[in-house]
Amino acid sequence: MRVIGITGPSGSGKTQLTESISSLGIKAINADELYHSMLIPPSKCLDAIRFEFGDSVFKNDGSLDRNALSSIVFNDKQKLELLNKTVLCIVVERIRDIIKSLEQCGEKAVVIDAPTLIESGFYKECDTVISVLSSESERSKRISMRDNISEEKAIERIRAQKDDSFYISNSHIVIYNNGTQEEFSSNIREIIDKLHLFS
């Protein structure tokens, strides 16, 4: 099983690259979506979050108050690292199970879209690590539109994350997304050709 990991900071364009590879028939795992699916109580993930962050990040019905948690972790790098440390091992365990299942079904490759691929240590289990990077100004616009928040709030989130050098030093391939959609699509096609997925 060939494992391709895609990472990069929020708003860089990871999803577009993942979807382009997936459209070729390669199975894809979205780590964020997987994580959110694991936040339905009762949940091992929720228990771990409650242990570290307390009841203040939970609603009365026992579900996670994502806004309350976000306001804590995106304003404090240490708290963000604590959250990652708390939940990543649980999510990675589930990703390994899915990969094993896909391999048993005869799949030859899988692509994983994971913003914390490197922080989790799972990048070491990938055959190829691709980082998608973009300028702060471009990312702040995309995050603002995607999450319906101000660009100032988007920039706060961006500055709580790792800088480009962190991704560059831990990747096999780096792709930049600072131009038009057409330019990025062209860059993606070049990356897909380099991967030789069907050779």
How far is CA 100 from its chain centroid? 20
Reported as a single tens digit per residue, the pLDDT across 88-118 is 999 999 999 999 999 999 999 999 999 999 9
Residue 167 maps to a domain: yes
Task: Report the CATH number that the domain containing residue 64 is assigned in CATH.
Answer: 3.40.50.300
The answer, yes or no, to whether the previous bond of 42 is cis (omega within 30 of 0) is yes
How far is CA 137 from its chain centroid? 20
Residue 142 maps to a domain: yes
At residue 194 the predicted structure's pLDDT band, cuts being 50, 70 and 90, is confident
Confidence (pLDDT) at 70: 87
Residue 163 maps to a domain: yes
Residue 198 maps to a domain: no
Reported as a single tens digit per residue, the pLDDT across 133-162 is 999 999 999 999 998 999 888 888 888 888
**Side chain identity, residue 58:** F
Query: Is the per-residue pLDDT at 196 higher than 90?
Result: no
Residue 139 maps to a domain: yes
19 and 167 in contact (C-beta within 8 Å)? no
More confident residue, 114 or 181: 114
Q: Which residue has the tokens 């936040």?
A: 39
Buried b (16+ CB within 10 A) or exposed e, 1-12: eebbbbbbbbbb
Reported as a single tens digit per residue, the pLDDT across 13-71 is 999 999 999 999 999 999 999 999 999 888 899 999 999 999 999 999 889 998 899 88
Exposed/middle/buried for residue 50 (C-beta within 10 Å: 0-12, 13-18, 19+) = middle
Residue 45 maps to a domain: yes
- The Cα–Cα gap between 12 and 6 comes to 11
Q: DSSP secondary structure string, 80-125? A: HHHHHHHHHHHHHHHHHHHHHHHHHTT--EEEEE-TTTTTTTGGGG
- The Cα–Cα gap between 165 and 34 comes to 27
| Range of the structural domain that residue 149 is part of | 2-193
Between the alpha carbon of residue 25 and those of residues 52, 66, 74, 111, 170, the distances in Å are: 40, 33, 36, 11, 27
Residue 175 maps to a domain: yes
Exposed/middle/buried for residue 94 (C-beta within 10 Å: 0-12, 13-18, 19+) = middle
Confidence (pLDDT) at 159: 85
Q: How many domains does the chain have?
A: 1
Residue 199 maps to a domain: no
Query: Is the per-residue pLDDT at 199 higher than 80?
Result: no
